[in-house]
Structure 1
């Protein structure tokens, strides 16, 4: 199968390109930088320079590659700039879907997130609607996710992967990453002061498990699928465990609950649908997964 990958040099893109090639697919990876193009070629894939915010440029390279499927792994997370990432989700996805349609592509596998669901009690499955909140900055994030998913669904075979929080090489949670620096007290760390071991629930997924799901999704039915590990957890549990794994100080526990604690608090996600399709995380829990990052 001919596969065109955007975000091919990102935290998921790198293991994804390797797994696609190992599975016998013909891969073209896109990057905006010469260094990124070199990394793609070093893995054995074809490399093309493309800017997702330039519709004509993106259309040209996708049409020339003539893929059977497009995999959308584009993010703009390096500076933790939510507005820039939102623009890429809305505008970049629009350009990619238009380029795919021009190339006659029917199938897209697109990266989404599992923490945009309507708040509620217990892990969310894919039948739970996205959060209708009007409170910023969450509303802007959810609106961008909704735009990404609706735009991708314009293609007849759109699989939307709602990933958990990424950890592993190249992520914020890896040794030396943004979260690790914040926990270590780096005064320039973007997240310093915002990491609270409270009752807010999150779901995680290792980037290699996320890449495995993207390869499997080449044959999945259309629609959204949560790609998360087996254990949604409160920050009060996972944040101290991450700090221990990284050998950095843990934040002080939050002794008084926030006013929003309870059934309306962030809830994590269920991976039952993905498991039913044959995918299972090789790192089923962050409890052991955080520590293995040191060996990745």
Structure 2
């Protein structure tokens, strides 16, 4: 299959491209920089330098590649700027979908998130609606997710991968990443999340497992799918384990959580055959896969 990967040098994309090539797919990947484009070419794929906000250039790139499927892994997370990432979800997704339409592409696999669900007491499955009740700044995050998913769904088949918190190489949770720096007390670190040890439930997924899901999703029916590990857990359980693996102190535990901090279930992905190599953060964090 000819596959166009938008965001091929990100944390997920950089692992996904070799997986696609190994599976026999013909891959074109994008990067915003010349260095990133060369990295893609070094993997054996076709590398294209293009900015997702340049609609005409993106359309030209997709039409030239003539893919049978598009994989959307565009993010803007390096600077921990929520507004920038929201713009990618809205404008970048719109430009990519319009380019796919122009190229006659009917299938897209898009990166979404699994913590945009409406508040509840138990981990959410895909039947739970997206949150429409929260105040800012969460409301902006959910609006960006909704825009991404609704825009992607304009194509014939849109598989919406609702990833858990990504850990592993190139993520905020890797050694030297924004979370580790914030946890260690670096006041210059920018991290869009909490380092509080409380009752807030999160679901994680290793980037390699996230990439594997994107590969598998080329054969899945459309709709949202949670891509998370098997163990949603409160921060007072997972954060001390991660802090120990990173070699930094964990804050003292406190009580409380927001209603939307509920985690997510991976039953649907499991039923479709997805088998994460790291089914729980307990082994994933301690194994330090993120530095391999």
Tell me what 1:293 maps to.
288
CA distance in 2, matches of 1:176, 1:41: 27
CA distance 1:134–1:237, change in 2 (3 Å)? closer
CA distance in 2, matches of 1:109, 1:182: 32
Tell me what 1:215 maps to.
215
Task: Trace 1:1-296 onto structure 2 (pairs within 5 A).
Answer: 1-191=1-191, 194-254=194-254, 257-258=255-256, 264-294=259-289, 295-296=291-292
- How much has 1:194 moved relative to structure 2? 4.1
CA displacement 1:66-97 (0-9 Å, x = unmatched): 00000000000001100000000000000000
SS, match of residue 75 in structure 1: coil
Equivalent residues of 1:31, 1:49 under 8 A apart: yes
Show structure 2 runs of 5+ residues with no match: none
TM-score (norm 2): 0.97
CA distance in 2, matches of 1:39, 1:290: 27
Equivalent residues of 1:232, 1:268 under 8 A apart: yes
- How much has 1:2 moved relative to structure 2? 0.3
Deviating more after overlay: 176-185 vs 97-106: 176-185
CA distance in 1, matches of 2:12, 2:53: 20
SS, match of residue 252 in structure 1: coil
CA distance 1:46–1:135, change in 2 (3 Å)? same
CA distance in 2, matches of 1:56, 1:153: 21
Cα root mean square deviation, aligned: 1.3
Equivalent residues of 1:196, 1:235 under 8 A apart: yes
- How much has 1:138 moved relative to structure 2? 0.2
- How much has 1:193 moved relative to structure 2? 9.8
CA distance in 1, matches of 2:193, 2:175: 19
CA distance in 2, matches of 1:193, 1:97: 29
Show structure 1 runs of 5+ residues with no match: none
Report the number of matched residues: 291
CA distance 1:71–1:189, change in 2 (3 Å)? same
CA displacement 1:180-201 (0-9 Å, x = unmatched): 1111221211249941000010
Deviating more after overlay: 101-110 vs 244-253: 244-253
SS, match of residue 287 in structure 2: helix
TM-score (norm 1): 0.96
Equivalent residues of 2:117, 2:260 under 8 A apart: no
